[in-house]
Each structure stands twice: as structure tokens, then as C-alpha cells.
């Protein structure tokens, strides 16, 4: 199983949107059983007396606008609560994706740097530099959606074209699930629908 953790400051907007966009991508590819996807916070701003805040309503609305968090495609949006990233998460996840430079700094401080090369900045997977737009300050959830969607699609493409995951991702799949260009390498077709 490939384990992915998305991280932002409070875990109610950006990392949560990324979590559910990624869950939607793998669901559409019939690969949900091959991935474990979560999100978490670097700070406790949205965690009170051990209880995390739910997905921020405008973030939830933006997910719904793209068919995520609806009754037909709920994916756990309504149950999601902010949680704090823990030191033990480093050993639990294969990819730890920070939304901005401050998240990366906080994660490396928490984990004692990044000895196994698991910590990435989200927009690295979108072939862009910079930070995922923070709608908490801008109110612009369209930009945040675009950044998270581009990053998640790039991450998914990176994983399914990584030779390290060929056996795991191709297990129990018949030849009709592969594109001819990828058959000789055993890779799953990455022409997946975008949000």
C-alpha cells in the first residue's frame, strides 16, 4: 500500500482539499485499495481539547462543486477532523506533502530533517515553484483548488510511472486495465480525468 500524508498549517483547507482530491483520483482509477491517504496540521490552531475542527465550509463547498463530498462520492469528507502531525507519521507514510515553505520547515523540524527523502512541497508535482495558495488569507478557493488538483494529479502520475511501484500497482489487474504504451513496463494508464 502506498501511504500519502498531505500537510498544511491547520488541516481544514489546503491539505484537506488535497486529501480528498487524491482519494477521488485513486477511486476513479479503481485503486483505492492500493493507497492510504490522510492529511494533518503542523499547528494546533484548529484542534481544541483534543477535537479537531471539520473541513472549513468554503473548502467543503469547493470540493462539492467538483463532485467530492457529495452523497454519491462522500469519501469521508463529513467525518474529517483536523489532526496534528506527529513524529511517528514519518515512519508511517511514503510521501509527506507540505503545502508551503513554512510547512516544509515545520515538518523537517518535527522529523529531525528528512533522512529518507519523503518530504515534498506540493507544487513540485505540478512542475511549478511556490506555495499552494492559502484561501484562509485570500478567500480564493479557486486558486487553491487548481494548485491542489494539479499537485495531486502530478503526484499520482509520478507514483504510477515509478518503477518501484509497478508490482504493487499492477497486482490483481488484468491486461485490459493497461494502456498499450505502458504494457511493456507494466504501468497503469495515466490519462485519468482531471477535476
Q: Which of 8, 13, 148, 152 is catalytic?
A: 8
Residues 6+ apart with CB under 8 A from 6: 14, 15, 16, 18, 19, 22, 37, 38, 39, 40, 97, 99, 122
Q: Which of 100, 106, 134, 150 is catalytic?
A: 134
User: How far is CA 31 from each of CA 44, 109, 190, rounded to the nearest angstrom?
Assistant: 32, 33, 12
Q: Decide if 14 is catalytic.
A: yes
Q: In angstroms, rounded to a whole number, what is the distance separating the alpha carbons of residues 130 and 174? A: 40
Length of the chain: 195
Whether 7 and 107 have beta carbons less than 8 Å apart is answered as yes
Whether 80 and 12 have beta carbons less than 8 Å apart is answered as no
C-alpha 89: how far from chain center: 15
Q: Decide if 134 is catalytic.
A: yes
Residues 6+ apart with CB under 8 A from 195: 21, 24, 66, 67, 68, 145, 149
Cell reading at 3 = 501511504
Q: Decide if 181 is catalytic.
A: no
Q: Which residues are catalytic?
A: 8, 14, 134
Amino acid at each position: 500500500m502506498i501511504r500519502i500524508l498531505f500537510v498544511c498549517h491547520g488541516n481544514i483547507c489546503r491539505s484537506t482539499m488535497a486529501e480528498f482530491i487524491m482519494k477521488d483520483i485513486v477511486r476513479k482509477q479503481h485503486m483505492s485499495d492500493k493507497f492510504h491517504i490522510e492529511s494533518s496540521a503542523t499547528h494546533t490552531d484548529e484542534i481544541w481539547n483534543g477535537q479537531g475542527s471539520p473541513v472549513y465550509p468554503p473548502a467543503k463547498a469547493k470540493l462539492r462543486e467538483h463532485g467530492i463530498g457529495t452523497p454519491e462520492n462522500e469519501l469521508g469528507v463529513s467525518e474529517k477532523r483536523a489532526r496534528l502531525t506527529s513524529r511517528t507519521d514519518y515512519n508511517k507514510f511514503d510521501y509527506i506533502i507540505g503545502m508551503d515553505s513554512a510547512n516544509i520547515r515545520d515538518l523537517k523540524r518535527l522529523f529531525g530533517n528528512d533522512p529518507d527523502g519523503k518530504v515534498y512541497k506540493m507544487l513540485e508535482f505540478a512542475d511549478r515553484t511556490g506555495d499552494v495558495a492559502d484561501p484562509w488569507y485570500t478567500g480564493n478557493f479557486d486558486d487553491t483548488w487548481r494548485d491542489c488538483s494539479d499537485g495531486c494529479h502530478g503526484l499520482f502520475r509520478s507514483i504510477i510511472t515509478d518503477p518501484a511501484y509497478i508490482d504493487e500497482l499492477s497486482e490483481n489487474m488484468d491486461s485490459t486495465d493497461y494502456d498499450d504504451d505502458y504494457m511493456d513496463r507494466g504501468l497503469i494508464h495515466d490519462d485519468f480525468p482531471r477535476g
